[in-house]
Structure 1
Amino acid sequence: MTDVAGPETRPPNPEDLRRRCEDVVLAWRDRLVAASHDLHAHPELAFEEHRSAAVVAALLRDADFDVTVGVWGLDTAIEAVYGDGDMTVTLCAEYDALPGIGHGCGHNIIATAGAGAAIALSRVADELGIRVKLLGTPAEEKGAGKAHLLEAGAWEDATVSLMVHPGPGIVAPTAGISTQSRDRFRVEFTGRAAHAAAAPTAGINAGDAATIMQVAIGLLRQHLPDTVRVSAVTLSGGDVSNIIPATAVVEAEVRSFDMTETADIKKRVLACVDGAATATGCGYSITPVDPVYEPLIQYPFLADRFDAALEHRGRVITPIDRALGGGSTDMGNVSQVVPSIHPMIGVMGSTSAPHTADFARDAVTPAADDAIVDGAYALAAAVVDLATDPDARAAVTELKRNRAPGATRKPAYGEAPAPG
């Protein structure tokens, strides 16, 4: 008696699954664009994004995700989950804005592209054997929301993590895009108040200490590598001219593509602080403003497949002769512990620099709407390729299997420097 073969089980066809993802994104285009415009019209700052979180959550609920707002210890964080496959794909949606200029970094595009990718992947999740999770991640601009979410365990189940960020109209290879680490801290100088005319010798001028710190940093910059950035702003340094200020506050930050270099440069900046305090007789204290933002690592397979998907959408990748960098993102912290990508999607025709009122205007144009669609599709297509490529899937699955429990739960803050 011969064996009777059962029905043949064919592996999923990536080309077909990518096409279906594209169809889903296009079908949802009007709702994604409407949500983007809604976010843009109602900008909210870090940790205050209650309305924005509700807008994004509504999209995912309409797509039959299991959605919770207020998770992992943050009131404006979202977790939306679909499916139960053995590979968890975590997409990130940012929706905080900048003070004064609103969505000058285009987070309305980030949020809706992430949501569109999650919805597209949910429609093929069973065939791919994946669990789709969208994390709404507050406070990227100020506060490092992802660092807090990491510490709480939001990426413990993640196999890979993806998001897309808008920028001016250039399509650069994802692998060539990097970001700097950033350590931001606040210095408070403490002196002694006195009448500026009647008793100036009785005063210890904290405002002078802030000025000397700024001048010292300015002189230090000549001796720093071109890839390093040091910025400082005096937040307060006195109230009226006839009182010698007893306190002054300066907020400063150090950026570099290398964490060790960032730490070394920070020591030199703190020497400027100490020198300013010594020169004026002030005391000082130093406190972190945000968790440290870490450098971004692009996962090569996902980066390559994202770029290929953009080309499918008619975008031409422009080779670059150096890495595009500058700026910082808390997605860097995620990429240090989970295979990730954070590519750029060009708002074609825009020549405005991010973090400007001009780019805020560009972030709600027809070209910005196209960036939502192309970005959402490219993220979904990259995941399809990963999930259907046996070697690539095995590689990321093995990385997660070998990751120690709690490895993604890095403390958001390290130890603060000792007071001066």
Structure 2
Amino acid sequence: MIELQDYETIKNDLEHNAIDMYRNPELGDEEYRAMRLLTTELEKHGFIIETNIVNRPTAFIATYASEKEGPTICYLAEYDALKGLGHACGHNLIGNMSVGAGILLSKRVDETGGKVVVVGTPAEETNGAKVTMAEEGIFDDMDVALMVHPSDVSSESGDMLAIDPLQFDFYGKAAHAAGNPEEGINALDGVLQLFNGINPLREHLKDDVRIHGIITNGGDAANIVPEHATAQFYIRANEREYLDEVVEKIRKVAEGAALMTGTEVVISNFELSYNNLIPNDTLSNLFTKHHKKFTDHTIHKKEKSTGSADIGDVSHRIPALHPYVGMNCPGVKAHTPEFREQTITEDGFKALEEAVLALANTGLELLENSEVLEAVKKEQAERFKK
């Protein structure tokens, strides 16, 4: 077992890096400083570093391989910040949770056999690199992918919604809105009819569907008929298959809105789409068992998520884990200044400690016990059959 005294050997470095990332937040695909902090720490402990993965300059793969054959345990590191809010989603902790777990497990892998890999995955908040990595087969030779997210309270790993971020650009014809409006074609009318058409559609969709959007461009001036208007929507559902059906309905609404207003519409993705997270209860229970050894707080049962993350695409390739470790701040939600500040408190660092130790011991048991790993893979296969 990997003990608290093992964590103490890297505690100061991890906390220092978490504070540095908090003070120097970087947006997705711009996380150069955070990448250097994390890869320098890994390199110090014997990991081989490869950067610029899948043509993402701030992505990396850090590998520590035993000379003995064995499974490959992957830890996923996130380190991008939110625009205007900094690390209000706690990625300054997430990156260090995975790096710390990878380092502690690497100290045992020469005995157990196998390989420890820490994958640095930029831009989870917007254009998640895990999607491209999954598409290009980065995870195909790995056995499991593990990560932890800080939260207000601790809870088990569950599911997440698939998401399509769609942009609707309507094109019309400009004209003076007072002088000769009859010569214009109002692109904003197309956007408004899109909203009007989506609203009654909600009644006929499953309860898990979430549709939320904004108008990002409504025209240039009130006295000019808008020739171009744009709306962006996030569309989510429990499963990719049903989300595809919903998106097709919304595409038809957009086409109808264009037909009604005499405009033309172009539909595109403004960010990458994410698949739903496929839960693995065997893997989740294993993590929870180890988490309980290092926490005094309640670990809540998994709840139905209404969020989305690019780890969903990883879970369509290999078994994946995404539980939550609490920072002892019930009711304080992510993407708020209060959550950001909690990440560098004593409670935030206690969550970092718990996550590192639980992740490292989960990886260790998977390396040492082939029956447990086979049970994880069997559940994955059964869920795909369904």
Shorter-chain TM-score tier:
over 0.9
Q: 1:258 to 1:399 in 2, by over 3 A?
A: closer
The SS at the match of 1:142 is: coil
Q: 1:87 to 1:113 in 2, by over 3 A?
A: same
The SS at the match of 1:329 is: coil
- Aligned partner of 2:353 among 350, 354, 373: 373
Q: CA deviation at 1:263?
A: 1.2
Q: TM-score, normalised by structure 2?
A: 0.93
CA distance in 2, matches of 1:273, 1:232: 13
| Aligned counterparts, 1:187-266, within 5 A | 187-266=168-247
Q: Which of the pair has more CA radius of gyration?
A: 1
1:325-383 per-position Cα deviation (integer Å, ceiling 9, x unaligned)? 11101101101110111111111124222122222222222211111111011111111
Q: CA deviation at 1:319?
A: 4.5
CA distance in 1, matches of 2:229, 2:10: 52
Residues 1:364 and 2:344 are matched in the alignment = yes
Residue equivalent to 1:270: 251
The SS at the match of 2:76 is: strand
1:302–1:383 contact (8 Å) kept in structure 2: no
1:109–1:363 contact (8 Å) kept in structure 2: yes
1:96-115 per-position Cα deviation (integer Å, ceiling 9, x unaligned)? 11111111111111100000
Q: CA deviation at 1:394?
A: 4.3
1:47-95 per-position Cα deviation (integer Å, ceiling 9, x unaligned)? 1111111111111112221112222321100111112342111111001
2:283–2:376 contact (8 Å) kept in structure 1: no
Residue equivalent to 1:415: none
Q: CA deviation at 1:397?
A: 7.7
Residues 1:110 and 2:94 are matched in the alignment = yes
- Aligned partner of 1:314 among 291, 295, 314: 295
Q: 1:304 to 1:221 in 2, by over 3 A?
A: same
The percentage of aligned residue pairs carrying the same residue is: 31
Q: 1:389 to 1:64 in 2, by over 3 A?
A: same
CA distance in 2, matches of 1:183, 1:149: 18
| Aligned counterparts, 1:41-190, within 5 A | 41-84=23-66, 85-168=69-152, 170-174=153-157, 177-190=158-171
Q: 1:160 to 1:318 in 2, by over 3 A?
A: closer
Q: 1:353 to 1:215 in 2, by over 3 A?
A: farther
CA distance in 1, matches of 2:318, 2:126: 22
Q: 1:42 to 1:137 in 2, by over 3 A?
A: same
CA distance in 2, matches of 1:306, 1:156: 22
The SS at the match of 2:72 is: strand
Q: CA deviation at 1:183?
A: 0.9
| Aligned counterparts, 1:283-302, within 5 A | 283-302=264-283
Q: TM-score, normalised by structure 1?
A: 0.86
Q: 1:318 to 1:65 in 2, by over 3 A?
A: closer
1:301–1:386 contact (8 Å) kept in structure 2: no
The SS at the match of 1:75 is: coil
Structure 1 residue identity aligned to 2:36: A
The SS at the match of 1:179 is: coil
User: Structure 1, unaligned stretches of length 5 or more?
Assistant: 1-16, 403-420
Residue equivalent to 1:343: 323
Q: CA deviation at 1:223?
A: 3.5
1:180-205 per-position Cα deviation (integer Å, ceiling 9, x unaligned)? 00011111101000111111000000
The SS at the match of 1:123 is: helix
Q: CA deviation at 1:399?
A: 10
The SS at the match of 1:198 is: coil
1:350–1:359 contact (8 Å) kept in structure 2: no
1:200-242 per-position Cα deviation (integer Å, ceiling 9, x unaligned)? 0000000111122123223333433332100111111101111
Structure 1 stretch 286-295 or stretch 247-256: which is displaced more?
A: 286-295
2:82–2:88 contact (8 Å) kept in structure 1: yes
The count of corresponding residues between Structure 1 and Structure 2 is 379
User: Structure 2, unaligned stretches of length 5 or more?
Assistant: 382-386
Structure 1 residue identity aligned to 2:107: R
| Aligned counterparts, 1:376-391, within 5 A | 376-391=356-371
CA distance in 1, matches of 2:261, 2:318: 47
Structure 1 residue identity aligned to 2:138: A
2:282–2:376 contact (8 Å) kept in structure 1: no
The SS at the match of 2:84 is: coil
Q: CA deviation at 1:398?
A: 8.6
